[in-house]
Amino acid sequence: MKRLLPGLMILGLAFPLISAAAQQPDRNPPTQQWGQRRGPGMSPEAQAARLKDRLKLTDEQTEKVKALLQKLQQERATWLQNNPQATPEERRAEMQKLMKERNDGLKEILTPDQWKQYQQEMEQMRMRMRERREPRP
C-alpha cells in the first residue's frame, strides 16, 4: 500500500494528460517525435496543446489552461522541495488539493460541453486503469 500512494499521487496530477491521451486514437498521424515525453512528464505547454486538440479550445482558453497548469506545476515543485520528509499521506493530501484546484480552474475556463467531455475522458481513463490493475486469468 505504501508503494502505491506516491504513484497514485503522481497519476492524479496526470489525469488531464492521460485522459486526453486515452481518448480514441487519432485519425491523423502522430506528431510526437521519438523520445518526447507524454503523460505526467509533459510540460504545461504540451499539456495545454493536447487539451486544445482534444477539447477544441480557443486560443484564449488555451492560454488560460497553460497558465493554470504552470501555476500548479510550480506549486507542486515548491511544496515537494519544502517538504522532503513528507509522509505518503501528506503527499497524497497535497496532490489531492492540487487536483481539486486544477479541476476547479478548468471548470471555470471550459464551456459546459468541453467540461462534460473532459469528465467523460477522465472516467474512461479511470476505467482503463482499473482494468489494468485487475489480475488476468
* C-alpha 117 chain-centroid distance: 14
Residue 28: per-residue pLDDT: 44
Q: Is residue 105 part of a domain?
A: yes
User: 34 versus 18: which is more confidently predicted?
Assistant: 18
28-86 per-position pLDDT tens digit: 444 444 344 444 567 889 989 989 999 999 999 999 999 999 999 999 999 999 999 99
Split into its structural domains, the chain has a count of 1
Q: How far apart are CA 22 and CA 70, in angstroms?
A: 22
Q: Is residue 31 part of a domain?
A: no
95-129 per-position pLDDT tens digit: 999 999 999 999 999 999 999 999 998 899 889 88
Contact (CB, 8 A) for 110 and 66? no
Q: Is residue 36 part of a domain?
A: no
Q: Which long-range contacts (CB under 8 A, 24 or more apart) does 116-119 make?
A: 117/54, 117/55, 118/16, 118/19, 118/51, 118/55
Q: Is residue 30 part of a domain?
A: no
Whether the per-residue pLDDT at 20 is higher than 90: the answer is no
27: CB partners within 8 A, 6+ apart:
none
- Number of Cβ atoms within 10 Å of the Cβ of 24: 7
pLDDT band at 16 (very low <50, low <70, confident <90, very high): low
Residue 82: per-residue pLDDT: 93
Q: Is residue 125 part of a domain?
A: yes
Residue 79 belongs to what domain range? 43-137
DSSP 58: -
Q: Is residue 29 part of a domain?
A: no
Q: Is residue 24 part of a domain?
A: no
Residue 125: per-residue pLDDT: 85
CA distances from 88 to 3, 4, 57, 75, 123 (A): 9, 9, 35, 18, 25
Q: Is residue 2 part of a domain?
A: no
> Which pTM was predicted?
0.65
Contact (CB, 8 A) for 48 and 66? yes
91: CB partners within 8 A, 6+ apart:
5, 6, 9, 80, 83
